[in-house]
Structure 1
Amino acid sequence: MDELQQLEDWLAPLLADMAPAARSRLARRIGTALRQHESKRIARQANPDGSPYVPRKVPLRARTGRIKRGVMFAKLRQARHLKVRANPNEVTVGFLGRVAHIARVHQEGRMDSVRPGGPRVRYEQRKLLGFSPHSRELIRDLLLDHFGDV
């Protein structure tokens, strides 16, 4: 039996005894911590396994206009785009709307247009969201802090 299963077996009766509002607060706290953790990881330009993102392609020739050289996904990782949804039974951290489409293209390495009406290219896979060993430890520590005196 792995560590996560043991934690789940220990938590199940404790969570069942909690009021729905208290479970929602706990879920929101966990979701907010995960969002901060994921945002920092995206800022480091790293996949959940610790490997670096594949860098942007270098332009074949110099072009007029702005060439993006900054950090990828700088705005995508902001709290206004990276949303937390919590209820008594679950918590989710993810993207919504147009931002979700952009994130999915990079998460799964899909084909998409560079700009509306522009050429379609296959984007490299860059995992924006995912569980790392550190995120599992973060969740475990938050739960142990909450239920530590039980």
Structure 2
Amino acid sequence: MLQRVSEACVRIDGETVGAIDRGLLVLFCAEEGDTDENVSFFARKIALMRIFADEDGKMNRSVVDVGGAVLAVSQFTLAAQWRKGNRPGFSAAADPVEGERLYDLLCAALRDQGLPVETGRFGANMQVGLTNDGPITIVMDSNDA
């Protein structure tokens, strides 16, 4: 999932470990079956998705075009299976070793697209703060790719 933000940060135990001004907050969840190719595809789409306003106020510019940055935060709870019962299940999430590998790959691929990338810490209890600009929130799922 990505959100267009005017600012975003992630804190762990009260310490800011990543922060950006204008750009994108990317909440990343690797699911069972996700591949390196999925991650590369997402990185290209994230970098080039035209969701920033041009001089006419139309969403025609990408985060690259506006000189923005990315704050990438791992969030396995996006894989929640919630329809049955009242406690969500997370068995669709990739195992932690593979999830961290794919998260690191995404961050590297975004940097390869020329983007400054700040991160959270995989597996940590994080507090994420953001000012959603728009609001613009886009759900990206590898099943839709």
Please indicate, yes or no, whether the TM-score normalized by the shorter chain is above 0.5.
Answer: no
Higher relative contact order by CA 8 Å / sep ≥ 6: 1 or 2? 2
The structure richer in helix per residue is 1
The structure richer in strand per residue is 2
Which structure is larger by alpha-carbon Rg, 1 or 2?
1
